Amino acid sequence: MSFSEAGASALGIFGGTFDPIHYGHLRLAETAREALGLAGVRLTPAGQPPHRATPGASGAHRLAMARLAAADNPAFEVDPAEVESAQASFTILTLERLRATLGTERPLVLLLGVDAFLGLPTWRRWTELFDFAHVAVANRPGYSLDESRLPDDLARHVEQRRAAPEALAGAPAGHLTSFSMTPLAISATDIRSRAANGQSLRYLLPPPVLDYISRHQLYF
């Protein structure tokens, strides 16, 4: 039985284009697990992301790379549903689907880097996300969570929902918290551009993902 099915402790949900998945993503998920006391983290590669250009690698490749990256961590699981769905990927739909299988009581924590958090008001039915999950935000080099500069609607949620990480276990959804991770200025955009320029990608992402990229000639 996987950690998603077992027990009632909080479960992390971490979505992204993962084009490709890299150590910034993995470190965020691992730090969140530890800092927020999560049973595990479900890495959820997006299918066709609504907010951005078509990814450089197909959904099948991005899913395969996420699986390789997660394989050696028993606290990580990869959720293929968004890639396998014909629908556009919206996080709210993923959370609705999870609630349908996991029930309404289990704490779910949506994990976001600061850049993703700042873009939250552009997401489909974004205020409803808090009905389904807590939100936890990690720092990311190059982006600041300066609360005095947040758009009004996001600032209101920060004010009303702010909670300490320990509070997440006490409710299924609705809180907003932050946690700090070792800052890693790694981005998939930079990795794709290095690959296209024939530069080394070593030490930016796990070796099995590196091998996969070169075997399938991705991003060249």
Binding residues (CB under 6 A) for ligand ATP: these are: 16-19, 24-25, 28, 112-113, 115-116, 138, 140, 184, 186-189
Label residue 136 left, alpha or beta by phi (over 0 means left) and psi (-120 to 50 means alpha). beta
Phi, psi at 188, each rounded to 5°:
-65, -35
CA distance 67 to 1: 18
CA distance 99 to 114: 25
Cis peptide before 50 (omega within 30 of 0): no
Nearest-approach distance from CB 187 to ligand ATP, in angstroms: 4
Q: From the centroid of its chain, how far is CA 28?
A: 8
Residue nearest to ligand ATP (CB): 113
Nearer to ligand ATP (CB atom), residue 5 or residue 202: 202
Nearer to ligand ATP (CB atom), residue 138 or residue 176: 138
Nearest-approach distance from CB 18 to ligand ATP, in angstroms: 5
Nearer to ligand ATP (CB atom), residue 11 or residue 186: 186
Nearest-approach distance from CB 94 to ligand ATP, in angstroms: 14
Nearest-approach distance from CB 168 to ligand ATP, in angstroms: 17
